Structure 1
Amino acid sequence: MGTASSGILYPWLDEPWQKLNAYLASQRLPQALLIHGVDGIGKTYLAEIFAQKLLCKHPEIFACGDCAGCRLFLAGTHPDFLRIEPAERGKPIAVDTVRHLIANLSLKPQYGGYRIVVFCAAHQLNISAANALLKTLEEPGENTVMLLLTDMPSALPATIFSRCQRLPIALPDDAVAARWLEEQGTGEATAVLLATARHAPLKALALAESDVVERRRTAFSEYVDVALRRQEPITLAERWSTLAYEDLVDWMVSWTIDLIRLRSVPDSPRLDNPDLRQGLQALVRRLHLKSLFGFLDLLLQAKRALNGQVNRQLLLEELLIHWAQLGQSPQADWYLS
């Protein structure tokens, strides 16, 4: 990834970057700004290059990269840049973390300029932490800017959501994302990587350096086996326990959305998983549309539950059992071919 000093900006971030700079130029910078978009779109990168610009002594379009403020920021030691995030993936941001932040904010910025707080995965604030933060969001202190980042804005407490101005980051057009990825050297794998990353280019680039595409294809084949009753859901859940639960639920969400598309429009040209079209089409007429929508709701609830204290293995077992049962009701056209 580039840095602010290098003047690198991902093409799909140009519009939100212009909005941030418009806030700055008009001297109406929000004290609490919610930046939201899917995982892998570049929210953290956008927040950090803007934070560096705010802390820079000689900013232009981007931070200069050479002043004392930039050097401290790039070294990760600027005292007026604070990052709040879960201690571990899937864990909540605890109230003690917020209380410690509030104590820090009671002091003046050490360099006399802006002080920036970035909340990574803001939707993982637990209830006590969110409640403790409310007054600070309303009155964070002079020259203090709070940037809350999330890919699940609906999971934020309403009290937090209502106190923030909002800056959405939209997914780029697939052609734009594919061109950028090809420039990074992804080659023939570009389309599959984008599909696996659900069209988020930075996530797709990260996947290019792993074997996740092959693992996803294997998982889909096993998922089909459960639907066709060639595989027991509990057995598969145990086998999948070595994989990331967040990835598994994301894959199941994308497969279900594609099944809904194909059930509604059999020749739908747009799929999140174009490389799996043949397998999806083999399944789609075996499933009732209403059942698919119900299963999608369950998956989205599971996605939210993964941010809390949930038994992940049990959750996965329940999802796979429900998937295995989708076609068993008399109303489902399971046996159509």
Structure 2
Amino acid sequence: MGSILYPWLDEAWQRLNAYLVAQRLPQALLIHGADGIGKTHLAETFAQRLLCKNPEAFACGDCAGCRLFLAGTHPDFLRIEPVERGKPIAVDAIRHLIANLALKPQYGGYRIVVFCAAHQLNINAANALLKTLEEPGENTVMLLLTDSPSALPATIFSRCQRLSIPLPDNAIATRWLEAQRTGKATDVLLAVARCAPLKALALADSDAVEQRRTAFSECVDVVFRRQEPVSLAERWSTLAHEDLVGWMVSWTIDLIRLRSLPDCPHLDNSDLREGLQALAGRLHLKSLFGFFDLLLRAKRALNGQANRQLLLEELLIHWAQLGRSPQTEWDYHEC
């Protein structure tokens, strides 16, 4: 493979290789970081390195193990993931995995299991996995990937070693994104993607930039009572709820910055500075912190069985009330 593609993953890659050098490879490793930061790429690059017959710094790319891996047919590489975004990983998938792990690796080396969106394990699936996490079998490595580690059951979390992948420095992310020649302003793309470079690149060919700008304008209208929150929630119902809540988290962080320091030089949403400053001037800091807590609870609810339409309505109703009372009590009820 030559070299790892994304420069901000170098430190995580060095740590994975340190496990190998020390011959202390974790049987269950939780890799967590923001959506769009490259967790899957890192896990698959490492999996290929483990399955390669002639590895050096990376997999050779030419041996039988590498060819099978690159073709997606290596029998000792297993992937567990939701059947569709937002859906849980059901217990049947774990039972099938356990049956596979009862057999010896077909090529006599490592066997790697990658769990994409591990936080989507439902309670039955998580319980079924516990013993396997503790005793996965000889030369079996389980890599659990998540952007919501707090949503994992404590029983799963406590059985894993952990590798955190932080968001890259803004300068590194900007240089990398500019090298991809998207034709769009990198600062705006990174703002839409909440600083995750791979997500920013994926959004370059979408209408997400305009969707975010429109959504922000509509949120401003709600605060200034030019728009009804319930009717806006209905219009938003066709958009990705995770993105909408993520954008609101980012806007709220910037509003807290501006409310604390009106001339704050750094904003995550610098292209929206004028509108954010107009809002910050009429919002109470205490209410902003309360709304931020509400947003974090809403993000967790999106990983479950929440009624998404009601969730949006509650968020926007509370958003509409932000500037009216510094004593607002925030009480989000999961639906």
Question: Scaled by the length of structure 2, what TM-score is found?
Answer: 0.96
1:135 to 119, 128, 131: 131
Q: Which moved more, 1:145-154 or 1:185-194?
A: 185-194
Residue 292 of structure 1, aligned match among 288, 293, 297:
288
For the residue of structure 2 that corresponds to 1:118, the secondary structure is strand
Match of residue 325, structure 1, among 304, 321, 327: 321
Structure 2 spans left out of the alignment, 5+ residues = 329-335
Secondary structure in 2 aligned to 1:179? helix
Q: 1:187 deviation in Å?
A: 4.7
Amino acid at match of 1:89: R
Q: Does the residue aligned with 1:116 lie in a helix, a strand or coil?
A: strand
Corresponding residue for residue 335 of structure 1? none
Counterparts in 2 of 1:46-65, with a 5 A limit? 46-65=42-61
State yes or no: 1:234 paired with 2:230.
yes
Native 8 Å contact 2:284 2:325 kept in 1: no
Residue 264 of structure 2 aligns to a residue whose secondary structure is coil
Q: CA deviation at 1:186?
A: 3.0
Aligned to 2:216: 220
| 1:14 and 2:24 aligned | no
State which of 274, 277, 283 in structure 2 corresponds to 1:281: 277
Aligned with residue 103 of structure 2, among 103, 107, 118: 107
Aligned to 1:262: 258
Structure 1 residues 97 and 207: CA distance shift in structure 2, 3 A? same
Aligned residue in 1 for 2:83: 87
Q: CA offset at residue 156 of structure 1?
A: 1.0
The answer on 1:210 being equivalent to 2:210 is: no
1:310 offset after TM fit, Å?
1.5
Q: Distance in 1 between matches of 2:116 and 2:298?
A: 21
Residue of structure 2 in register with 1:186 after alignment: 182
Residues 91 and 309 in structure 1, CA contact (< 8 A), matched pair in contact too: no
Runs (4+) off by over 4 Å: none
Q: Which of residues 230, 247, 251 in structure 2 aligns to 1:251?
A: 247
The CA deviation at 1:9 is 2.6
Instruction: Say which is worse superposed, 8-17 or 217-226, in terms of deviation.
Output: 8-17
The answer on whether the counterparts of 1:123 and 1:150 sit within 8 Å (CA) in structure 2 is yes
What's the C-alpha RMSD, in Å, of the aligned pairs? 1.2
**Paired residues of 2:189 and 2:200 also in contact (CA < 8 A):** yes
Deviation at 1:170, TM superposition (A): 1.2
The reply on whether 1:158 has 2:154 as its aligned counterpart is yes
- Shift in Å, 1:199: 0.9
Question: What is the CA deviation profile of residues 8-53 of structure 1, one whole-angstrom value per residue up to 9, with x for unaligned ones?
Answer: 4311000110110110111110000011111111000000000001
Deviation at 1:258, TM superposition (A): 0.7
Post-superposition shift, 1:330? 6.5
After superposition, the C-alpha distances for 1:230-251 in whole angstroms (9 at most, x for unaligned) are: 0001111111111111110101
SS in 1 for 2:277: helix
CA contact (8 A) 2:233 2:312 kept: yes
Secondary structure, in 3 states, of the residue corresponding to 1:298?
helix
1:241, 1:129 → 2: CA distance? 29
Kept after mapping to 2: 8 A contact 1:58/1:67:
yes
Cα shift at 1:7: 2.5
1:117 alignment partner in structure 2: 113
Q: CA shift at 1:329, angstroms?
A: 2.5
Provide the rounded CA distance (Å) in 2 between the counterparts of 1:330 and 1:208.
39
Q: Distance in 2 between matches of 1:264 and 1:187?
A: 35
Residues in 2 aligned to 1:8 and 1:160: alpha-carbon distance in whole angstroms: 29
For each residue in 1:243-263, what CA deviation from the matched residue of structure 2 results, as whole angstroms up to 9, or x when unmatched?
A: 111110101111111111111
Q: Does the Cα contact within 8 Å between 2:284 and 2:326 map onto a contact in 1?
A: no
Measure, in 2, the Cα distance between the counterparts of 1:287 and 1:276: 16
In structure 2, how many angstroms separate the alpha carbons of the residues matched to 1:197 and 1:84? 25
SS of the aligned residue for 2:145 comes to: strand
Report how many residues are paired. Answer: 328
Counterpart of 1:296 in structure 2: which amino acid? F
1:41 aligns with 2:37: yes
Matched residues in 1 for 2:4 and 2:291: separation? 41
Alignment partner of 1:328: what SS? coil
Tell me whether 1:304 sits opposite 2:300 in the alignment.
Answer: yes
Q: 1:262 to 1:330 in 2, by over 3 A?
A: closer
CA distance in 2, matches of 1:196, 1:323: 20
Query: Are the equivalent residues in 1 in contact too, given 2:194–2:250 (CA < 8 A)?
Result: yes
Distance 2:180 2:43 in 1: 22
> Counterparts of 1:202 and 1:66 in 2: how far apart (Å)?
27
Identify if the C-alpha distance between structure 1 residues 330 and 138 changes in structure 2 by more than 3 Å, giving closer, same or farther: closer
SS of equivalent to 1:242 = coil
What is the alpha-carbon distance in structure 2 between the residues aligned to residue 236 and residue 90 of structure 1? 23
